[in-house]
Amino acid sequence: MGSSSEIEVVTMGSKTQQQNPTGELPAITDVYSASAYGDFQQLRSFVEHGGASVSLPDGNGYYTLQWASLNNFVDVAQYIIEHGGDVNAADNIHQTALHWAAVRGSIAVADLLLQNGARIEAADVNGYRAVHVAAQYGQTGFLNHIIATYGADYNALDKEGTSPLHWAAYKGFTDTIRLLLFRDACQNRQDNKGYTPLHWAVVRENIEACTLLVHTGTKEELFLKDSAGFTPFQLASDKGHRQLALFLSKAMRTHRNRVVDKIIRGNLGDKGCAPILFCIIVVLMILFTISVIAAPNLPKVTAMVGLWGWISLSFGFCSLIMFYRCSSKDPGYVKRADELDRNHDANDPLMSIDLNSSSWTGNWSQLCPTCKIIRPVRSKHCPTCKRCVEQFDHHCPWISNCVGKRNKRDFLLFVLMGALTSSTSGTIALQRIWTGIPSVKPGETWIRHVAFEHPSVVLFLFFDLVIFIASTMLMISQTYQVARNITTNEMSNSKRYTYLRGPDGRFNNPYNHGWRRNCSDFFINGYTTDDEVVSRIYNTHLDAAK
């Protein structure tokens, strides 16, 4: 596999359909140049007045229909077919007009060709079919169209044993990869070199492609060896791709020992760390009551200290309530295909994507190969929960749940309660110790006195400080994001999401309506409504397509 074996984009003169430096179109001298540049009137003149044929190849063996198909000139292609052009005519390397249409994703011409008898599975001398060519050039829309409409075989193999998924992985076209995985393309198929799509993604150091293939695949692809005996990890190490090697090594460890790895990552089975955090909060509340409020070796509790102690414990109980809510609540799971249609046959692949659906904005990252759905914009598939989550913020192992559209308000209130509880209880503990300074022996430091006389209070203050720092940082970051109507995931991966970039390519958040509206929508509804923005993005995409 390599550039030498791919279909070549043939151009006439300079670049097809490009003007010369003077701004004038290149000279139209025959039916071939007229077809290439879409000059319908000249083509008619050559045929009807000059007696030229549109069914014969030029000196290089290329047909007029191929030139018209390359540049998606439907009217020209229609005229050629009506005047004897053969839709299955092949050049010297057996490429048909459909191959050429696939190079630039000429969907309209492809429809015309196929409706007039073009063979969808026609192969050239390398065994490339239209699906291979579309994958080689990242023509995802074209590939989806011929699969969904004409049943093209997306697992077809060329003479090297490579499938369209191999090619997409090699080229790093993640949108094409996502579509093929959505269609259940085979991930563990090995070509003549023993390479899987993951091997080819590693060879070209396509990190995003590797990430997608690993998260969507099984452990089998990680351990398959090529003809030289290399797994994808060993291949990455051999080629010096350190970042990829580290990622693949971690993925392999995850599959080798899931229990140990989940403990390391803070995910204790399905329950995660939620029980641990719950116990820590309860123990700290008990420790605060026994060691700070009711400690016999500390000064007598005053009315003010008692009031603030009661307030602190109330904050603690509220934090437990919010902890339970954000931990047990549905974060905004998007229904999977089998949940949307209970009568869906699992053996019948989902072959239709409604590109005119209001939920579709032309962003192929909306396809989820695992859940087999077109997920809403701003949602993301969580590999831990194995579900797509609307307005995905992040997966929090400490609550054993994702933070998303339905529970982000609860999560923000939880960290707010945590910050208030830790700050008030810590302040009371320090005040209680400080009032005990008169009991410090001469020559003994206050810190030494506290450490030896009140070890339980020191222990409480240590964990209380940790919780205060963590909850305060989370509260600040979450509040900032709510005010800007952006998620943690979007902030971390803003370069990956096209909807977060303006026409000039710079960061632009279309969901930011100003901090007042953002905050009011969030705290009143629990989430912000995206319908208005999604509709605008969808209409913009349609206008661009036209």
Looking at residue 374, its pLDDT comes to 85
Higher pLDDT, 339 or 134: 134
Q: Say which residues have a Cβ less than 8 Å from residue 279's Cβ, sequence separation at least 6.
A: none
Cα–Cα distance, 215 to 140 (Å, whole number): 20
The token pair that represents 66 in the structure block? 């191929």
Looking at residue 535, its pLDDT comes to 61
The token pair that represents 521 in the structure block? 């929508």
Cα–Cα distance, 177 to 402 (Å, whole number): 26
Cα–Cα distance, 305 to 465 (Å, whole number): 20
> Tokens 């913020």 belong to which residue?
393
Q: Residue 318: exposed, middle, or buried by beta-carbon count in 10 A (0-12, 13-18, 19+)? A: middle
Whether 323 has a pLDDT exceeding 90, the answer reads yes
Q: What digits encode the pLDDT tens for the residues 87-145? A: 999 999 999 999 999 999 999 999 999 999 999 999 999 999 999 999 999 999 999 99
Whether 237 has a pLDDT exceeding 80, the answer reads yes
Whether 66 has a pLDDT exceeding 70, the answer reads yes
Q: Say which residues have a Cβ less than 8 Å from residue 108's Cβ, sequence separation at least 6.
A: 72, 74
The token pair that represents 107 in the structure block? 């969907």
Cα–Cα distance, 309 to 315 (Å, whole number): 10
Residue range 287-312: average pLDDT?
88
Instruction: Say if CB 293 and CB 313 are below 8 A apart.
Output: no
The SS3 of residue 90 is coil
Higher pLDDT, 18 or 186: 186
User: Please, which pLDDT band fits residue 431 given cuts at 50, 70 and 90?
Assistant: confident
What's the DSSP call for residue 333?
B
User: Please, which pLDDT band fits residue 18 given cuts at 50, 70 and 90?
Assistant: very low
> Tokens 């290089």 belong to which residue?
60
Q: Say which residues have a Cβ less than 8 Å from residue 135's Cβ, sequence separation at least 6.
A: 143, 164, 165, 167, 168, 171, 173, 176, 180
Q: Residue 320: exposed, middle, or buried by beta-carbon count in 10 A (0-12, 13-18, 19+)? A: middle
> Of 273, 371, 388, 396, which one is the catalytic site residue?
396
Residue range 361-372: average pLDDT?
82
Q: Say which residues have a Cβ less than 8 Å from residue 178's Cβ, sequence separation at least 6.
A: 212, 364, 365, 367, 369
Task: Kindly report the average pLDDT of the chain as a whole number.
Answer: 85
Check if 388 is active-site. no
Cα–Cα distance, 92 to 96 (Å, whole number): 10
Whether 15 has a pLDDT exceeding 80, the answer reads no
Looking at residue 179, its pLDDT comes to 93
> Tokens 């102690």 belong to which residue?
309
Whether 367 has a pLDDT exceeding 60, the answer reads yes
Side-chain-facing half-sphere of 153: CA atoms under 13 Å:
13
Cα–Cα distance, 275 to 290 (Å, whole number): 22
